[in-house]
Amino acid sequence: MPLDRYNRDINYLRISLTDACNLRCVYCMPEQMTFRPRDELLSDAELRRLITLFAATGFRKIRFTGGEPTLRPALVDLVAHATRTSGIDSVGLTTNGVLLAGLAAPLYAAGLRSVNLSLDTLDADKFRQITRWGNLPDVLAGLNAAARAGLRIKLNAVVSRGTNDHDDVIALARFTVAQPWQVRFIEQMPFGNNAEFQKKSIVDEDELLAVLTKEFGPLELENGGKLDGEARLYRIPGAAGHIGFISPVSKPFCADCNRLRLTADGILRLCLLRDNEADLRPLLRGGASDDEITAFIRKAVHVKPWGHGLADQVMSVSRGMSEIGG
């Protein structure tokens, strides 16, 4: 069991499969974005080896993310490898859903059981405005295919002031009345040179809870407020699904953090919002043994920072969200 120096069990690895994306969400990346050359990204074989070694170190949970992970040609094979790796008991995927219609069934067959789909609005024009390039029907087709394939569904919506902070939130939350899904609202986090825009447009949990309470009446708090992963869950009385709030800015959950992140170019990010990193690629490409790599992983776990420093104006400047994967 990999414990960090604060005695947290760090057992969850989020793997970014590519920094590239087929959308350009305004809060995530500029429209003119350059991506890393293919040879800088970890190869499929390097990723498979790392998944096995992280499991051997005590990691139990893996999530594939991006950029947009469905752009990685070997996604289904990598999911199959992860789900068959001894010690890994949970494999997830975070996607914008654009390509999910054709992938949901093969991913289920590869052993995937749940998907997190990012969807900020159900209004097609607004969806295009937020994602710059997106076509809402593609994503809804992906969502339907995921439900048909039998995948558990969580919808993630980043809320921005003046864009999707009222009617859109209500429409997304309404999904949970009939569907057994989690619809989670994420506070926008400041990154690098987009930080000022992100700080200006953040809408926090308390404000959203007030909007939803006005529409649906008092929501029922689930699990006594204990987080499910990073989300505080509520239920509209009688609803099939849950509403969740992921509030790293207004209600940080660093004390319960159990994760490391692996960027597509092989860097271990020890905290989403700090630039503390450990580079695995020189070991992978320099002939390091499995023992040397697991020792490196343990050391990285040990020095994981206690938490983010947003309250002290410390934020990530070296990489944006699309390079880390969320």
Stretch that binds ligand SF4, among 63-71, 144-152, 181-189, 199-207 (CB under 6 A): 63-71
CB 100 within 8 A of CB 70: yes
DSSP-based three-state secondary structure for 152? strand
Binders of ligand SAM among residues 56 to 95 (CB under 6 A) are: 65-66, 68, 94-95
Residue 316 contacts ligand SF4 per CB under 6 A:
no
Please tell me the count of residues contacting ligand SF4 according to CB under 6 A: 12
Check binding of 151 to ligand SF4 (CB under 6 A).
Answer: no
Shortest distance in whole angstroms from residue 48 CB to ligand SAM: 21
Tokens found for residue 80: 């199959």
Residue 146 CA: distances (Å) to CA of 124, 272, 304: 20, 28, 35
Of the candidate residues 17, 23, 99, 107, the single one contacting ligand SF4 (CB under 6 A): 23
- Contacting ligand SAM within 168-187 (CB under 6 A): 186
**Whole-number minimum distance, CB 302 to ligand SAM, in Å?**
27
Instruction: Give the torsion sign (CA, 163, 213, 172, 185).
Output: positive
Query: Would you state the structure tokens that stand for residue 158, as one six-digit string?
Result: 């980043």
Can you tell me the distance from the alpha carbon of 200 to that of 188, in angstroms, rounded to the nearest whole number? 10
Does the footprint of ligand SAM cover residue 131 (CB under 6 A)? no
Q: Please choose, out of 20-28, 164-172, 176-184, 298-306, the segment that lies near ligand SF4 by the rule CB under 6 A.
A: 20-28
Contact 161, 200 (CB under 8 A): yes
Note whether 64 and 75 are within 8 A (CB).
yes
- Only one of the segments 24-32, 71-79, 182-190, 226-234 lies at the binding site for ligand SF4 (rule: CB under 6 A); that segment is 24-32
**What are all long-range contacts of 19-22, with beta carbons under 8 Å and residues at least 24 apart?**
19/66, 19/67, 19/263, 19/264, 19/265, 19/322, 19/323, 20/66, 20/67, 20/68, 20/71, 21/66, 21/67, 21/68, 21/71, 21/96, 21/322, 22/68, 22/71, 22/96, 22/98, 22/99, 22/133
Distance separating alpha carbons of residues 76 and 175, to the nearest angstrom: 28
Q: 180: helix, coil or strand?
A: coil
- Beta carbon nearer to ligand SF4, 11 or 194: 194
Interface positions, 10-49, toward ligand SAM (CB under 6 A): 21, 27-28
Pick what 29 binds: ligand SF4, ligand SAM, none; C-beta below 5 to 8 Å, kind-dependent: ligand SF4
- Nearer to ligand SAM (CB atom), residue 25 or residue 110: 25
How far apart CA 263 and CA 280 sit, in angstroms, is 10
Contact assessment for residue 64 and residue 44, using Cβ atoms and an 8 Å cutoff = no
Q: Is 198 in the site for ligand SAM (CB under 6 A)?
A: yes
Q: Is 25 in the site for ligand SF4 (CB under 6 A)?
A: yes
Measured from the CB atom, is 78 or 300 closer to ligand SF4?
Answer: 78
- Residue 191 touching ligand SAM (CB under 6 A): yes
Give the residue with the Cβ less far from ligand SAM, 4 or 205: 205
Q: Which residues bind ligand SF4 (CB under 6 A)?
A: 21, 23-25, 28-29, 66-68, 96, 118, 322
Q: Which residues bind ligand SAM (CB under 6 A)?
A: 21, 27-28, 65-66, 68, 94-96, 118, 156, 158, 186, 188-189, 191, 198, 321-322, 325-326
